[in-house]
Amino acid sequence: MKVKDLQRGETVVIALGGNAISPPGSEQYEDQLREIRNTLKGIRKLIHPGRYRLVFTHGNGPQVGDIFLQNELTKDSLPRYPLDVCGAQSQGLIGYMLVRELRNFLKEDQERGVSAILTQTLVDEDDPAFQEPTKPIGPFYEQEEAGRLKREEGYEMVEDAGRGYRRAVASPEPRAILECEQIDSLLEAGSVVVAAGGGGVPVINKEGDLLGREAVIDKDLASAVLAEGLSASLLLILTSVEYAYLNYGKKDQRPVKRADPDQVRRYMEEGHFAAGSMKPKMEAAARFIESGGKKALITSIEKAEVALEGKGGTVIAEGE
């Protein structure tokens, strides 16, 4: 897919991975700002102001983990918030950095502003993921304390890589982005929009009432739901590698340069793409195309511009 194939006014959803904001070693605030500025430079042509309707989504792993941990560490003296609220906080934190730096990047070129919208993502109350929480969060505990938390708080506790026990939460499927229409309104008015941070705050609809859930939503899958809701033309997933690879890390690894959703599914059945890493990205890309999207592109920030010119990256689209 070439940038020049995109028509003025088409919608592009850009999903920023953790490495776009806070790669390992860049945990401090000033580091994160530097990384964000570099990321924006890397996709300079795409964010040419006013040409496309641009939505940025982003991960929040390190930030929400730290906020949750702060809550645990200070809970004896300060109010403790559940994980869904910590996720909302992380949207504020990262949204502010992104909006401010996007405004600084676009400068006078930006005519109609940049804004971040707090986003809730609807999940099913009976999503099977809730029966089997898998995502470790928060501090490490000794076995005894882990047992107590399981009994008294009802937490699912998992052993994590020999370093101790951690609470595990579910990663349910995103069903709908509650603020999709508002995001669309902002785009219509010409704003660049930051949304669905961390995959959105997970909420269920229980007999008409929205309730938060202590869970995490994959940000790429949520981005695909949002891209579908906005009838986006392009879902651009920025990560740390130029391509998705078959046999990744092995001697015979080779890049996937182009695939349709069926091929993606076959590759998955063959065991390619790491869970929690490339797999949800490929799954998100495939779902987006299946839902009627034109193209999805998975590539690195460094290669984004050439990939957008058709010279790199993994393109997922219907066969030609």
User: Site residues (CB under 8 A) for a second copy?
Assistant: 27-29, 66-67, 69-71, 73-74, 77-82, 84-85, 88-93, 95-97, 99-100, 103-104, 107-108, 112-113, 115-118, 120, 178-179, 181-182, 185-186, 188-189, 191, 194, 201, 203, 208-210, 212
Nearer to a second copy, 121 or 239 (CB): 121
CA 316 – CA 243 distance, rounded (Å):
11
Tell me whether residue 19 is one of the annotated catalytic residues.
Answer: yes
In the complex, what is the shortest distance from the CB of residue 254 to a second copy, in angstroms, rounded to a whole number?
38
Of the residues 65, 199, 281, 312, which is catalytic? 281
Nearer to a second copy, 33 or 268 (CB): 33
Give the strand order in the sheet containing 156-159.
135-141, 165-169, 156-159
Nearer to a second copy, 191 or 239 (CB): 191
Tell me whether residue 281 is one of the annotated catalytic residues.
Answer: yes
Residue 215: partners with Cβ closer than 8 Å, 6 or more residues away: 83, 84, 123, 129, 130, 133, 135, 169, 170, 171, 172, 202
In the complex, what is the shortest distance from the CB of residue 284 to a second copy, in angstroms, rounded to a whole number?
24
Tell me whether residue 279 is one of the annotated catalytic residues.
Answer: no
CA 316 – CA 1 distance, rounded (Å):
10
Of the residues 87, 219, 279, 293, which is catalytic? 219
In the complex, what is the shortest distance from the CB of residue 151 to a second copy, in angstroms, rounded to a whole number?
22
In the complex, what is the shortest distance from the CB of residue 51 to a second copy, in angstroms, rounded to a whole number?
19
Residue with tokens 């929040």: 60
In the complex, what is the shortest distance from the CB of residue 314 to a second copy, in angstroms, rounded to a whole number?
32
Backbone φ and ψ for 203, nearest 5 degrees, come out as -130, 150
Query: Is-contact 202 150, C-beta < 8 A?
Result: no
Nearer to a second copy, 120 or 300 (CB): 120
Residue 267: partners with Cβ closer than 8 Å, 6 or more residues away: 246, 256, 259, 273, 282
Tell me whether residue 42 is one of the annotated catalytic residues.
Answer: no
Query: Is-contact 196 219, C-beta < 8 A?
Result: yes
Nearer to a second copy, 95 or 280 (CB): 95
Residues linked to residue 57 through DSSP beta bridges, in sequence order: 15
Where in the sequence numbering do the catalytic residues fall?
Answer: 18-19, 135, 219, 281
